Every structure is written in C-alpha cells, then in structure tokens.
Amino acid sequence: MAIAAAISLSLPLQTRRFSVASAAPLRSTSSLHFDSLRSNLSLKNPNFRVSATSMSIGTADKISAASFLDRRESGILHFVKYHGLGNDFILVDNRDSSEPRVTPEQAVKLCDRNFGIGADGVIFAMPGINGTDYTMRIFNSDGSEPEMCGNGVRCFARFIAELENLHGKQSFTVHTGAGLIVPEIQDDGKVKVDMGEPILKASDVPTKLPANKDQAVVKSDLDVDGVTWSVTCVSMGNPHCVTFGTKGSQNLTVDELNLAAIGPKFEHHEMFPARTNTEFVEVFSRSHLKMRVWERGAGATLACGTGACAVVVAAVLEGRAARSCTVDLPGGPLEIEWREDDNHIYMTGPAEVVFYGSVPL
Ligand SMILES: N[C@@H](CCC[C@H](N)C(=O)O)C(=O)O
C-alpha cells in the first residue's frame, strides 16, 4: 500500500519536474521497484541542467529504504521526500555525523519548486544528544534554521522507522532546538507527538508586544499597515502569532484572505525580533477550528504542526475553544490536545513517503 502510493506519486513528479533519481521503498522481493536514475542536476551549477532520464519498473531483488540511502557515493545525496498534510520535506540520513550534509545555500536550491526537488524544508536525522535517541535539525526553504517543525517530526519518525527497519508501534526521543520531542508511531501509521509545553512569556516567544500581568501576549493589538489585528503569541520552540481577526471584527473567513500580501508583513513585523509564523483562524465550534498559515522562512504552506498547536493554545487562552480540537489546514486535519495535567500539547496526524531520490551536490 505504501509502495503503491510512493509509485503513483513519484510518476507525475518525475516527469513534470526533473529528474531526481528515484526508488520506491521496498519491503519484499515481490515489490515494484524504481531503479536508480541519474540526472545532471548540479547544485554547484546555478543553471541547473536537467537531462533526460529513463525509468525501469520491475520485480526487485531484496532492497530496502535503508540500503537505498546507504549508497554513499561521494557528491551524491540520497534522500526521501515525505509530506505531512502537504507540508513537504527532504529527509536526509545524517546519523553518522552531527554536521548537516547539506548547507543552507544548498537547501534553498533543493527546496526550489522549479529548479530543485521542491519542498518546504530539508530535515536531517542526526545522532542523539543528551541521552536522546536522535537529533532533528531542519532548514526552511529560505535556508534559515527553525527550532522545531511539527509536521516534520512526524515525517522524521516514519523515516527513522524505515531506516531502522522497525514495524508497528514505535516511539523515539528526539532532541530539537525546542528541546525534547517524543513522536510515537501508532498502529494505524499516524504519528502522535508529545510536543512539550507551550511558551507564553513574551520575551521568550519572542515578541516586543506589551505583555499582560502573566507576561503573556493575549488578544493584543498589532498594527499591520494601518489595520489593527487582535493577536495572541505562542512559542512551540518556534514563534507563532495567532489571530482570529481584526480588532472588534466578527469571525474570520480564512478562505477570503490574501495570504501572500499580508503574510510577509506579519513575518517581518518589528514586534517579532526573530520573525514569526502567523496563523489566521476561523472558529467553527469549541472543538473545530480552521486555519491558514504563513510560515517564517517558507511562506504559505499547506500545513504547520507547531502552528496548529499554537492555534489551540491561543484559542483556549482567548476562551474560544476547548483543549481538544480538530484543526483543519489546507492539507487536511490535525488532532490537537493541550492536556491540563502535564501542560503538554499532543499532536496527531499522518506522515507519508512521496518519493525516493538521488541528486548530485
Ligand atoms: N511547518 C512546520 C514549521 C517549520 C518551521 C517554521 N517555518 C519556522 O521557521 O518556525 C511545522 O509543521 O511545524
């Protein structure tokens, strides 16, 4: 099933864009197998050249994701592209080193949707530190490095399971820039993640907006190009500005927003010294929200896991929703729970392979 999905998704991408080498994840000798393809795409060359490629589909000898990624020709990057509700990432097996195998500049080129593989970010699976099983680092598509990525960590968990040939329910401890994160692959293949506690202290979000007596920024006024928005600021390790609309307005209709026009104005607003991710939220009920996101360093994406967590925290703080919500994103729904007993946020959602590939660096 996973193999069929990988193959059908691979084909349009292969033919439409370019030529990353491609291979489907294979778990048995009867599986279909895309043989390795090679392109002339060179990240050293600013004018990427793309060559014609050939593809073979046949009955494979025993080959696995791990063995595909294990090929260590110098100058070639083997990767797996995953997505979590359309928030897509290039996953790199970096377990042998704490130095990312791709530079931020190369990440920008790899993420380019016309001249590269196309992704919202590049994620590295690295050796654990401080007693954790693994470390996850990520570069956004603009080359900046965020502290955390919610959809990314679900993809990360599935990637590790592929690499380590693990099946069924699995849980890992992952060191991130946001501290310890614990994803658990469930029996149905979805990943439930203990995202830790939200950070509300204004200076830690960080935001320069005036804080309330609890040092949090809740329902504060933010002037953006002469329009006053009502915002609540939450860090999930990375900064989020959540808005349910302009000051005094009715419920937002998020489909009507011109995200490309207003998103960058929030991202680069002087009140956010580390820039910010911004979530625009529509409330359907106390347990059902809809959001669109403008991500720091990546722009409009189809989903943002840390953003969905921040949205539920903000909705609870503003008295708009209960602690357990379905959050609809353009790419699909996430289940989010902000537990009262441990103050942790739990996010549950899918993570899927898109295709396997190789690219010269
Ligand atoms: N899409 C991610 C968040 C990725 C990082 C973000 N762009 C930032 O710079 O903070 C998610 O699913 O959480």
Distance 36 CA to ligand 1 centre (A): 31
Is there a catalytic annotation at residue 309? Answer: no
Instruction: Give the position, in ligand 1's atom list, of the atom nearest the Cα of 87.
Output: 1
ipTM for the complex shown: 0.99
Catalytic entry in 111, 149, 155, 241: 149
Residue 305 Cβ contacting ligand 1 at under 6 Å: yes
- Cβ(122)–Cβ(115) under 8 Å? no
| Tokens matching residue 24 | 């489907």
The residue whose CA has the least distance to atom 3 of ligand 1 is: 149
Token pair 């070639």: residue? 76
Q: Which among 296, 302, 336 is the best mutation to test ligand 1's pocket, defined by most ligand atoms within 8 Å of the CB? A: 296
Residues 6+ apart with CB under 8 A from 165: 64, 66
Q: List, for residues 157-198, the tens digit of each pLDDT value.
A: 999 999 999 999 999 999 999 999 999 999 999 999 999 999
Higher local confidence (pLDDT), 11 or 179:
179
User: What's the mean pLDDT when you consider all of the chain?
Assistant: 85
Residue 277 Cβ contacting ligand 1 at under 6 Å: yes
Strands 239-246 and 21-22: unpaired
Q: List, for residues 58-104, the tens digit of each pLDDT value.
A: 333 445 677 777 777 778 999 999 999 999 999 999 999 999 999 99
| Tokens matching residue 142 | 């603009």
Give me the domains of the chain, ranges plus CATH numbers: 87-194 (3.10.310.10), 202-349 (3.10.310.10)
35 φ, ψ to 5°? -75, 160
Q: List, for residues 279-313, the tens digit of each pLDDT value.
A: 999 999 999 999 999 999 999 999 999 999 999 99
